[in-house]
Structure 1
Amino acid sequence: MDDAPRLGSPSPYATFRRRDWAALRADTPMTLDDADIDRLASVGDPIDMDEVEEIYLPISRLLAFYVAARQELYRATQRFLGHSETRVPFLVAVAGSVAVGKSTTARVLRALLARWPDMPKVDLVTTDGFLLPNAILARENLMGRKGFPESYDVQGLLRFVSDIKAGKPRVTAPVYSHLVYDVVPGEETVIEKPDIVILEGLNVLQVGDKPRNGRVQPFVSDFIDFGIYLDADEALLRRWYVERFMRLRETAFRDPQSYFRKYAQVSQEEALETAETLWSDINLPNLRENIRPTRPRADLILMKGESHRIEEVRLRKI
């Protein structure tokens, strides 16, 4: 990992190999079965019971401690101010490149957290819904920059997380369809009084813009309680992206409503060339310019290896 400290310098992270991290599960019970795990996995992102037990159960246990500590801090602040207690949701961010497995990680964590003994209410929202509609992206000549920071309704996303952290009883988020590759007009996800919200997306750990007219502009990362960054070598990310594209070419792209249906009709060679171009021209530059620079802001970094399994865990020191 290229943001690792130089030899001899202190690191802000404690680093764990897989076996050592797995031991931190302690007595956390397994509440998912094989059918659950198969249902939660994304296309091209294999995950099995061992991965959940050795990686995600310890994360679940760690988050239980963080949530309890944050709730106690809020209660202490309310007592100090003489206010009645208002439940404020704990906001978890899951960030990383395309094809690294963010969606699977977010869904598995949601399933585990929602099955804690006290059954907290856990909601999952992806930032895809805050992408600007294709009509606007086309008008602004941004279709080739989809997924870059400028392709999002940043103010809408900021209002959403601000309302969540303000404890607003009902908050809504727009819905994105990967089938039609666009925001769905009139559809929304409703979030009502959650204990935990998982926010998954490419740039959720990004810092705000430079001050304008002397005023600091807040950003989504200012509201995050715990940030997770999934990482892998660029060569692996490229391979996983291309493999996923080719797999979707044989499945979802064949749907008549699919935005990418034309790629199901071209030759194998043309489809492969398209996938490579999309990676090199759009996804790789976005990774290098915008996504990976947010990695040092994460509280937890999960490094994946060749088989999509997490081989190293880095936890930010308190």
Structure 2
Amino acid sequence: MSDIDPDKDQLSPYRSFSVTEWARLRKNTPLPLSEEELTELRGMNERVSLDEVAQVYLPLSRLLSFYVASIQQLNEGTQQFMGTNTKQVPFIIGIAGSVAVGKSTVARVLQTLLARWPEHPKVDLISTDGFLYPTAELEKRKLMHRKGFPESFDRAALIDFLTAVKSGRGALQAPIYSHRLYDRIENEFIEVDQPDILIVEGLNVLQSGKMRLGESQIFISDYFDFSIYIDADLDVLRQWYVKRFLNLRSTVFSQPDAYFKDYAKLGESEAIETANRIWRTINQVNLHENIEPTKYRAKLILHKGPTHAIDAVHLRKL
């Protein structure tokens, strides 16, 4: 269960909701999503249902629409104050959480729902995986064993990209990452052209980092108008990672050009042992050192139970 105690809600910076309580905030908003569309949005091992979309994601899309409208109104008022008439800048949502927690599915479902609100029909989505240093650069820096840790990302390039987005620039390109190649895809990009909303999902997007005395630094999260942390218990995350590894072993890893094609040759027990070792020595360390400590920087925490279903929602008090 979540480590936020609902019984101490008065003393917490968050207000906690059960799924039933949260679902009431939908306020008769129609569900603009079919089962066929949801099937396309689900990630590997994900079991998100239309009922969960209606109970959790639809109220969340309604809340986010309020935030977007508020920021748009503030921008209009500011422009009137300054006597300017520039294009409104995108509202940016950051989504963080562990490997295998289901960030990508949450991001895709939210993207689809938010784009169907008439006030902000253009919603783009990028993953910070595309801003990992290329494999050749990671090998040069001796960081392959730290892939996914903060130092393995081209943070300067990501900051430059988000600066351009918030400056209102159009025709931007975000790199695309391939889990098959375990690297960026050369000459392939996601086009980001002045969307109403940009969703940025990744492991370390809420991290503030460490600064030396007198040092001035900009963080990725400084660009976010709203932030979400996807949470789950440690052993549950490990189980999900192992299951995902086994699925990749029989699908992506079995392709001839896959970076981890040797893993496809592993037997069941050896594959489970390998997945647990990778989780214990890499992903769990990254989670404890860099990802989980950022949880309470999020404006919203979605806690998942063992079945991948969200069982609690924690919203930061204004």
Instruction: Please report the TM-score for the alignment, with normalisation by the length of structure 1.
Output: 0.96
Give, as a single letter, the amino acid of the residue that structure 2 aligns with 1:306.
P
Return the alpha-carbon distance in structure 2 between the equivalents of residues 223 and 260 of structure 1.
35
Give, as a single letter, the amino acid of the residue that structure 2 aligns with 1:261.
K
Partner of 1:248: 248
Give, as a single letter, the amino acid of the residue that structure 1 aligns with 2:259.
Y
Aligned-pair CA distance for 1:193: 1.4
Give, as a single letter, the amino acid of the residue that structure 2 aligns with 1:81.
M
Partner of 2:302: 302
Query: Does the 8 Å contact 2:9/2:15 carry over to 1?
Result: no
Query: Does the 8 Å contact 1:75/1:85 carry over to 2?
Result: no
1:136 aligns with 2:137: yes
Closer, same or farther in 2 for the Cα pair 1:8/1:185, shift >3 Å? Answer: closer
Partner of 1:112: 113
Return the alpha-carbon distance in structure 1 between the equivalents of residues 171 and 221 of structure 2.
21
> What is the CA deviation profile of residues 259-301 of structure 1, one whole-angstrom value per residue up to 9, with x for unaligned ones?
1211111221221111001100000000000001111110110
Return the alpha-carbon distance in structure 1 between the equivalents of residues 193 and 245 of structure 2.
35
Closer, same or farther in 2 for the Cα pair 1:15/1:7, shift >3 Å? Answer: closer
Query: Does the 8 Å contact 1:90/1:196 carry over to 2?
Result: yes
Return the alpha-carbon distance in structure 1 between the equivalents of residues 264 and 13 of structure 2.
46
Aligned length: 317
Query: Does the 8 Å contact 1:170/1:192 carry over to 2?
Result: yes
Return the alpha-carbon distance in structure 1 between the equivalents of residues 20 and 205 of structure 2.
29
Runs of 4+ in 1 over 3 A off after TM superposition: 1-9
Partner of 2:99: 98
Return the alpha-carbon distance in structure 1 between the equivalents of residues 122 and 37 of structure 2.
18
Partner of 1:166: 167
Kindly report which structure 2 residues correspond to 1:170-181, keeping only aligned pairs within 5 A, or say none.
Answer: 170-181=171-182
Partner of 1:259: 259
Query: Does the 8 Å contact 1:174/1:188 carry over to 2?
Result: yes
> What is the CA deviation profile of residues 99-132 of structure 1, one whole-angstrom value per residue up to 9, with x for unaligned ones?
1110000000001111113451000000000000
Partner of 1:65: 66
Return the alpha-carbon distance in structure 2 between the equivalents of residues 130 and 306 of structure 1.
30
Does the residue aligned with 1:291 lie in a helix, a strand or coil?
helix
Return the alpha-carbon distance in structure 2 between the equivalents of residues 102 and 6 of structure 1.
28
Return the alpha-carbon distance in structure 1 between the equivalents of residues 90 and 70 of structure 2.
13
Partner of 2:45: 44
Return the alpha-carbon distance in structure 2 between the equivalents of residues 158 and 118 of structure 1.
27
Does the residue aligned with 1:312 lie in a helix, a strand or coil?
strand
Query: Does the 8 Å contact 2:120/2:196 carry over to 1?
Result: no
Return the alpha-carbon distance in structure 2 between the equivalents of residues 313 and 275 of structure 1.
30
Aligned-pair CA distance for 1:86: 2.1
Does the residue aligned with 1:199 lie in a helix, a strand or coil?
strand
Aligned-pair CA distance for 1:85: 3.4
Query: Tell me, which stretches of 5 or more residues in structure 1 are unaligned?
Result: none
Partner of 2:279: 279
- Between 7-16 and 132-141, the greater mean CA deviation after superposition: 7-16
Return the alpha-carbon distance in structure 1 between the equivalents of residues 6 and 40 of structure 2.
38
Query: Does the 8 Å contact 2:90/2:197 carry over to 1?
Result: yes
Partner of 1:311: 311
Closer, same or farther in 2 for the Cα pair 1:118/1:222, shift >3 Å? Answer: closer
Partner of 1:220: 220
Query: Does the 8 Å contact 1:211/1:217 carry over to 2?
Result: no
Give identity over the alignment, percent. 50
Aligned-pair CA distance for 1:9: 6.6
Does the residue aligned with 1:80 lie in a helix, a strand or coil?
helix
Return the alpha-carbon distance in structure 2 between the equivalents of residues 2 and 19 of structure 1.
19
Aligned-pair CA distance for 1:74: 1.0
Does the residue aligned with 1:314 lie in a helix, a strand or coil?
strand
Coordinate RMSD, CA, aligned: 1.6
Does the residue aligned with 2:11 lie in a helix, a strand or coil?
coil
Partner of 1:76: 77
Give, as a single letter, the amino acid of the residue that structure 1 aligns with 2:92.
L
Closer, same or farther in 2 for the Cα pair 1:19/1:5, shift >3 Å? Answer: closer
Closer, same or farther in 2 for the Cα pair 1:6/1:158, shift >3 Å? Answer: farther
Closer, same or farther in 2 for the Cα pair 1:146/1:72, shift >3 Å? Answer: same
Return the alpha-carbon distance in structure 2 between the equivalents of residues 78 and 193 of structure 1.
18
Partner of 1:235: 235
Aligned-pair CA distance for 1:3: 6.2
